[in-house]
Structure 1
Amino acid sequence: MIRLILYLVGVGLLATGLAWLADRPGQMLLTWQGYEIETTVFRAVVIFAILIGIAVFLWSLLRQLWNSPAAVGRMVNRRRQERGLEALSSGMIAIGAGDRSQAMRHAIQARKALPNEPLTHLLRAQAAQLSGDRTTARRIFEAMLGSKETEQLGLRGLFLEAEREGEHEAARQFADRALRLNPQLGWPIDALFELQCRASDWTGALDTLAAGKRNGHFERTIADRRRAVILTAQAQALEDTNADKALTLTMEAHNLAPDLVEAAAIAGRVFSSKGQTGKVARVIEQTWRRAPHPDLAIAYAYARSGDSPKDRLDRVKNLARTTPHSVEAPIAVAHAAIEAHDWTEARKALAPLVESRLSQRVCTLMARIEGEQFGNAGRVREWLARAANAPRDPAWTADGVVADRWAAISPVTGTLDAFQWKVPVEQKGTQDEELALAKFEELMALGDGSTEKVIEAKPLGNDDVPQTVEVRTVPASEEAPKPKPAAPTAAPATTAAQRTSGNGAQPHPYVPSRAPDDPGVEDEEPAPKTAKAAKASA
C-alpha cells in the first residue's frame, strides 16, 4: 500500500514538472565542434531523461554479467540446500517409522548435500543406531564433541549409548560433563541423580538434587520428598552404629515428609533408646495419622522400656483410637493384647475384621490366640487353612518385588522411593508366597504333633512313700518307654493313671491338650523387649 502511494506521488510530481516546462517555452542552442543544435527546453529535458534511463539499463546489464558466476553458485547452493533439507526431513520420518534402508539412503544424501549441518550428524548417528551399527554411531557422536555447537548433542548420544551397553560409570561421566557444560539442561540432572541413587551414592545424589532444585528442574514438593527418602536411607544404615547422626537425619526427613514411615520408625526407636518417650509419641502419632503401619505401632508400644505388656497394650489402644477406620489399628491392638495374654481384648479387636475384612494376618493372629490360649491344635489348623485362601495383606512392594523391610530404591530398576505399602499383585510361585508359607510353617508348630509331652509314672515299690512323676519330651515317632518293673519284695505302687482308671492296667502315656511349643502362661512381668526385637519377632 505504501509503495503504491509512493508510486502515484512520483508520477504526479513528474507530470507536474513536465506540465510546468510545457507552459514555459524556450530555446536551447548547443554549438560544439562546428555543429549547432537548436531545440526547445522541453525536448532537451525529455532527451536527457531518456539517455539517463539507457545508461542505467546498460549498467545493470553489465553488473549482472559480472556477477553471474556468483549468482550461479548461489543458485546451485540453494538447490543443494533444498535437497539436503528434504533428505533430512525424509530421513527423520524414516527413522521414526523404523525404515532402516530409507533412513540410511537419506542420511547419505544429507551428508552429500549438507556435510557440516548438525542435523546431518544426528541423522547419520540415528540411522546407524537403527541399523545396529553401534560403533559408527559412537564414532559420530564422538566427532560432535569437537564443535561447541554439537558438543551437547554428542554427549547426549554417548550417554545413551553407554546406558544401552550397561557402562554406568561412562554414562555418569558423560552426564556430569554435560551438566558442567550447561547447568540448564534437564537430562543430565535426571540421569546423574538416577545413577547415583542406583549406586547408593547418597551424598552425590543430595548434591545433584540441590543443583536441580536450584536451576528449577524439580518442583519443591518433589525435591523435598526425594531428599527425605535419601536422608532416611542414610539413617537406616547408621541406626546401629551412629544413633545420634541417624536421629538428626530422620528428624529432617520427618519434617520434609511426615508420611514417611521408615523415618518416623527409626526416630521413634532412637528416641526410645534415649528415654525420650514424649518425642517418640509426637513423631509416631504424626506419621500414624497419615500412614498407619505395623512398624509404627511396635515403636509406639515400646516407647518406654520396662513397661509391662499391659502398659504397652494401653498405649497401643490410645494410638489406635486416632485412626478408627484403618485396618492397622485393630491388628496392632490384637498384637499387643496377645503379648499381654489378654485374649478377650485380642478377640474383640479382631472381631470386626473376621466378619468383614478377613486377611492372612487376621487368620494367623486368630491361630495364635487359639494355640496360646487353649492349645487347640484343630482350631489352629483351621485358621491356618483359612489364611492360605484369605486375601493378602499390604506389604512393602516395588516393581513386583515384596520385601519385609522398606528400602530407598527398587531392587529391580533402582528407582528412588519405589516401595509402597500396598497389597501385592497376585502371582503364583513368587518369592513373597514363599515368605508367607514360611510364616505359616512357624505357626503350624502350634498344632503339630511331632513332639509330645509324655508323663511317665514310675512305681517306687513303697505304698507309704509319695509318688514321683517324671515329665520329659520325646518324639511322637518313638514309643513311650515302658515303666520299670517293681522290685520283687515290694508291692507295686498305684500310679496316677491307675488311680484315675480304677484298675490295675499298665500306665500309658498321657498327651496334654496344650500345644507342644506353647510357652504357657508367662510371668506377670516378663523381661522388657526393645522395639527392634519386637519388630523382628513379629
Structure 2
Amino acid sequence: MTRILFFILFIVAVALGLAWLADRPGTVTIEWLGYQIQASAFVASIAVVALVAFVILAFAVLRYVWTRPAAMAAYVKEKRRQQGHEALSRGLLAIGVGDRALAQRYAGIAGRNLPREPLTALLKAQAAQLKGDKAAARRAFEKMLDQPETQLLGVRGLFLEAQRSNDVDAARTLAEEAVHRDPKLAWGVNALFDIQARAGDWDGALNTLAIARQNGHVQTDIANRRRAVLLTAEAREAEAFNPDKALTLANEALRLAPSLVPAAELAGRIFASKGEARAASRQITRTWKLSPHPDLAVAYAFAKPGLSPRDRLKRVEYLAGLTPNDLEGAIAVANAAVEAHEWQVARDALAPYVEDRPSARICTLMARIEGGDGDKGREREWLGRAVRAPRDRAWIADGYVSDRWLPVSPVSAPSMPSSGRPRPTPSAAATRRCSRSIWSHRATRAPWSPSPRPEPEPESAAPPVVVDVTPVVTEARVDKPALKESATPKAEVKETAPSKDTAALKDEALPRDASAMAPKPAPSIFVPTRPPDDPGVSQPDPDESPTSLERLRAAQIR
C-alpha cells in the first residue's frame, strides 16, 4: 500500500513538472562541429531523459554480459554444494539405519562435492567403520588432525578406535591429548579418569577428578565420594610399606565420606596395630552408626589385643547397641557369643530374625548354636534351611558379586553416584545393572559356605570402568532339584543289615562335598565364597566342639 502511494505521488509530480515546463516555452540551441540544433525546452528535456535512460540500459547490458561466466561458475558451485549437503544428509541417515552400501555411495558423492567440509570426513570415517574397515577409519580420523576445526573430532574418533581394539596405551594417550586441548570436554576427562583408575594410577585419577570437578563434569557430592574411594584404594596399597601414609589417606577418605566402611576398617586396623585401641574404637564406632558392616564388627572386637572371647562379646554387644534395629548388630553379637560358647546369648540375639525367612548366615549361625547346645537334630534342620535360605547382602556392581570390597569393578558400566544403603531386589535374576565401578560403602558378606570355591576371572572383553556404584542386595532361592543333592546328614545306625528306613536315610545323607550345603546363587551372578580380609589381628580359634561340622563329617565318614 505504501509503495502504491509513493508511485502515485511520483507520477503526479512528473505530470506537474511536465505541465509546468510546457506552460513556459523557450528555445534550446546546440552548436557543435558546424551543426546547429535548435529545439524547444520541453523537447530538449525529453531528449536528455531518453539519453540518460539509454546509457543506463547499455551499461546494464554490458555488465550482464561481463558477469555471465562468474555467475555460471557460482551457479555450478552452488549446485554442487546443494548436492553435497544432500549427500551428507542421506549418508548420515544411511549410517543410522545401517545401510553400508548406501553410506559408502553418499560418502563418495559428498567427498567429490564437499572435499573440505568437516562432516564429509566424519561421514567417510563412519562409513568405513560400518563397513568394518578399521584402517580406512583410522586414516579418515588422522586426516582430521590436519585441520584445526576437526582436530578434536579426529582425536575422539581415534580414541574410540583404540578402545575397540583394546589398545589401552593409545587410548590413554589420546584421552590425555583431549584433556590437554580442551578440559571442558566431558568425554575426555571421564575417559582419562576411567583408564587411570582401572590401571591403579590413583594419583593420576585424583588429579583428573579435580579437573572434572573444576569444569563442572561431576557434582560435588559425587566427586567427594569418588575421591574418598580413590584415597581408600591408595591407602590399602600403602598399608604394607607406609602405615602412617595409609592412615592419613584413610582419615582423609573418612572426612569426605564418613560412611565408607573399607576406610574405617583400614583406619581401625592401623590404629589397633599401633596400640591406640581407643582411637580405633572411636573411628569404627563413628562409621558403624552410619553403616553397620561385619568387617567393622570384627575390627572393633579385636581392636584391643589379648581379650578373652567373653570380653570380645561385651565389646560387640556395646557396638550392636548403637544400632539396635539393625540386623548386622544381631549377627555380630551372635558370632561373638558362639566364639565365647554363650549359646543362649547367641540364640536370644537372633530370635527376632529367625521367624520370617532368615538368611543363610542366620541359618548357619543357628545350626552352630544348636550343635553347640547338643541338639544335633535341630542343627541338621537349620543346615537344611540354610540351603533354601535367601542370599545375604553382598558387594554388587554391574551384576558382579564379591564378598570383599574392591575399588574398581571387573565389569564396565556407565557412571552413577552411590546412594548409600543397599536395596533389596526380588530375586537374583531381577538384579538391575549397577552403573560404574568404584564400589559403594554398604553391603554384607556373600553367603557362607563350608568349603571355598575358586573365583572365576571376569571376561576380558569388558574392561572395568571406574566410578562409584550403589551396592544392591539380592535374594535368591535354590532350585528344588538342588535340595536332593544336599539333604540333612545321616545319623549313625548300628544294625547288621540295612532296613528300608536306613536305605532311605542313606539316599538323603550329607554329600561328601559339604560345599553343596551352601546357598546357590542364580546362574547369571557368581557369588564368591572366599573368607573376608584379615582385620589386622589374630582370628579366633576355630570351633573345636564335638558338634562342629567338621567333626560331624569325620564321624559320618568313619
Structure 1 segments of 4+ aligned residues over 4 angstroms from their partners = 1-25, 433-436, 442-453
Specify whether residues 59 and 447 from structure 1 end up closer, same or farther in structure 2 by C-alpha distance, changes over 3 A only: farther
Q: Name the CA shift for 1:40/1:177 in 2 (closer, same or farther; >3 Å).
A: same
Q: How does 1:44-443 map to 2 (within 5 A)?
A: 44-374=44-374, 376-412=375-411, 413-418=464-469, 420=471, 422-423=473-474, 426-428=521-523, 431-432=526-527
Deviation at 1:40, TM superposition (A): 3.6
The residue type equivalent to 2:211 in the other structure is A
CA contact (8 A) 2:357 2:389 kept: no
Query: For the structure 1 residues 186 and 24, does the alpha-carbon distance in structure 2 shift closer, same or farther, using more than 3 Å as the test?
Result: farther
User: What's the CA shift for 1:342?
Assistant: 2.6
Instruction: Describe the shift of the 1:267–1:41 C-alpha distance in structure 2 as closer, same or farther (beyond 3 A).
Output: farther
SS in 2 for 1:209: helix
In 1, the alpha carbon distance for the partners of 2:473 and 2:310 equals: 31
CA RMSD between the two structures: 3.0
Cα offset for 1:239? 2.3
Q: 1:10 to 1:220 in 2, by over 3 A?
A: farther
Task: Return the offset for 1:340.
Answer: 3.0
- Which whole-Å deviations, capped at 9, do the CAs of 1:187-220 have from their partners, x for residues lacking one? 1111111111111111111111112222222221
Compared CA separation, residues 427 and 60, structure 1 to 2 (3 A):
same
Assess if the C-alpha contact under 8 Å between 1:338 and 1:369 holds in 2: yes
Amino acid at match of 2:161: E
- Give the secondary structure class of the aligned counterpart of 1:432: coil
Q: Decide which structure has the larger Cα Rg and report it.
A: 1
TM-score, normalised with respect to structure 1: 0.76
Q: Is the 8 A contact 2:390 2:475 kept in 1?
A: no
- State the alpha-carbon separation in 1 of the partners of residues 546 and 523 from structure 2: 27
Shift in CA distance, 2/232, structure 1 to aligned 2, threshold 3 Å: farther
User: Given residue 78 of structure 1, which amino acid in structure 2 is its aligned partner?
Assistant: E
Instruction: Tell me how many residue pairs correspond in the alignment.
Output: 447
Amino acid corresponding to residue 391 of structure 1 in structure 2 = P
**Mind listing any 5+ residue stretches in structure 2 that lack a counterpart?**
412-463, 477-520, 532-540, 553-558
Please tell me whether the aligned partners of residues 403 and 529 of structure 2 are also in contact (alpha carbons under 8 angstroms).
no
Q: Distance in 1 between matches of 2:221 and 2:352?
A: 38
Of 109-118 and 44-53, more deviation after overlay is shown by: 44-53
Structure 1 distance, partners of 2:16, 2:325, is: 99
Alignment CA distance shift 1:25-1:365 (3 Å) = farther
Give the match for residue 432 of structure 2.
Answer: none
- What is the identity, as a one-letter code, of the residue corresponding to 2:403? D
> CA offset at residue 245 of structure 1?
0.8
Once residues 280 and 549 of structure 2 are traced to their aligned partners in structure 1, the CA distance between those partners, rounded to angstroms, is: 44
CA deviations on 1:494-529 (whole Å, 9 max, x unpaired) are xxxxxxxxxxxxxxxxxxxxxxxxxxxxxxxxxxxx
8 Å CA contact 1:397–1:403 kept in 2: the answer is: yes
**Which of structures 1 and 2 has the larger relative contact order (alpha carbons within 8 angstroms, sep 6+)?**
2
CA contact (8 A) 2:403 2:528 kept: no
Greater CA drift, 214-223 or 29-38: 29-38
Measure how far apart 1:10 and its partner are: 6.2
Contact 2:371 2:379 in 1 (8 A): yes
How far apart are the structure 2 equivalents of 1:67 and 1:429? Answer: 75
Give identity over the alignment, percent. 49
Determine the C-alpha separation between the residues in 1 that align with 2:31 and 2:550: 149
SS of the aligned residue for 2:47 comes to: helix
Gaps of 5+ in 1: 437-441, 454-538
Three-state SS of the structure 1 residue aligned to 2:180 is: helix
Write the deviation string for residues 329-364 of structure 1: whole angstroms up to 9, x where unpaired.
211221222233332221111001101251101011
The TM-score with structure 2 as length reference comes to 0.73
User: For the structure 1 residues 409 and 41, does the alpha-carbon distance in structure 2 shift closer, same or farther, using more than 3 Å as the test?
Assistant: same
Distance apart, 1:433 and its partner CA: 6.8
**How many angstroms apart in 2 are the aligned matches of 1:355 and 1:298?**
26
Deviates more, 1:12-21 or 1:376-385: 12-21
Contact in 2 for aligned 1:179/1:185 (Cα 8 Å)? yes
Distance in 1, matches of 2:189 and 2:282, equals: 36
In 2, are the aligned partners of 1:313 and 1:340 still within 8 Å (CA)? Answer: yes
Q: 1:108 to 1:349 in 2, by over 3 A?
A: same
Paired with 1:50 and 1:278, the residues of 2 have a C-alpha distance of 113
Distance 1:12 1:282 in 2: 103
Deviation, structure 1 residue 431: 4.4
Conserved 8 A contact 1:277-1:303: yes
For residues 37 and 252 of structure 1, what CA distance do their matches in structure 2 show?
Answer: 108
